[in-house]
């Protein structure tokens, strides 16, 4: 499928799901998790974000991006996410197209996360964690509720898949709205628009 990877270029950099996930300080400090638990990944990542933001009065964009790329992005399984977004159309994509698609998806997340981390408000936000729910041995859901005084509470559901001894995020839902489903719908919509374009004459 030629030019398929270009379809991601118009995806908005702002995703409410991800901005809410980053606008969180970790409450329930008495809760502890082992390294092999999926909730451990979410909690320790939010801990790092809280510490990073608290110790930085003014964070420049380059520093923000480096932090997100090192401490946040590795916890996402972009291979799995890309496969789910492209669906059956992946059969018509070359290996090179798939790599470019995944790279563009990763870059989109990196840009969005870096942008929203700049408005992080740890002092006025708290998060409640719920016990992880497992679907078999390789998939789990970690749910949290985000409380802020200026907005209604938001339920965040992290869908995670086991990768060796680690757990990777494959989707995030905010009050039931899926980030990956958002990308899939947009991908399909843009793909249909691309296929309807008249052939260029030379």
Note the pLDDT tens digit of each residue in 55-111: 666 677 888 888 889 988 999 999 999 999 988 888 888 899 889 889 988 988 888
pLDDT at 167 over 90: yes
Sign of CA dihedral 69, 183, 104, 97: positive
Check which CATH number belongs to the domain holding 27 and give it: 3.10.450.710
Number of compact structural domains in the chain: 1
Q: What is the pLDDT of residue 195?
A: 56
CA gap 69, 92 in Å, rounded: 30
**Domain enclosing residue 44, as ranges:** 4-194
**Is 202 a domain residue?**
no
Average pLDDT over residues 184-189: 84
With contact defined as beta carbons under 8 Å apart, do 24 and 42 qualify?
Answer: no
**Is 199 a domain residue?**
no
Q: Is the pTM of this model over 0.95?
A: no
């Amino acid at each position: 499928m030629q030019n398929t990877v270009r379809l991601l270029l118009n995806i908005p950099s702002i995703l409410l799901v991800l901005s809410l996930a980053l606008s969180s300080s970790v409450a329930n400090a008495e809760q502890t998790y082992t390294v092999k638990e999926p909730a451990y990944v979410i909690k320790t990542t939010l801990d790092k974000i809280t510490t990073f933001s608290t110790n930085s009065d003014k964070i420049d964009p380059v520093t923000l991006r480096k932090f997100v790329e090192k401490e946040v992005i590795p916890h996402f399984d972009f291979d799995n996410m890309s496969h789910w977004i492209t669906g059956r159309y992946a059969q018509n994509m070359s290996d090179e197209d798939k790599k470019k698609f995944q790279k563009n998806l990763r870059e989109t997340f990196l840009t969005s996360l870096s942008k929203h981390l700049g408005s992080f408000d740890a002092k006025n936000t708290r998060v409640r964690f719920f016990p992880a729910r497992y679907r078999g041995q390789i998939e789990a859901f970690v749910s949290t509720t985000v409380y802020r005084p200026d907005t209604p509470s938001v339920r965040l559901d992290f869908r995670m898949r086991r990768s060796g001894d680690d757990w990777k995020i494959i989707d995030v839902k905010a009050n039931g709205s899926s980030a990956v489903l958002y990308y899939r719908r947009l991908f399909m919509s843009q793909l249909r628009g691309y296929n309807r374009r008249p052939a260029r004459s030379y």
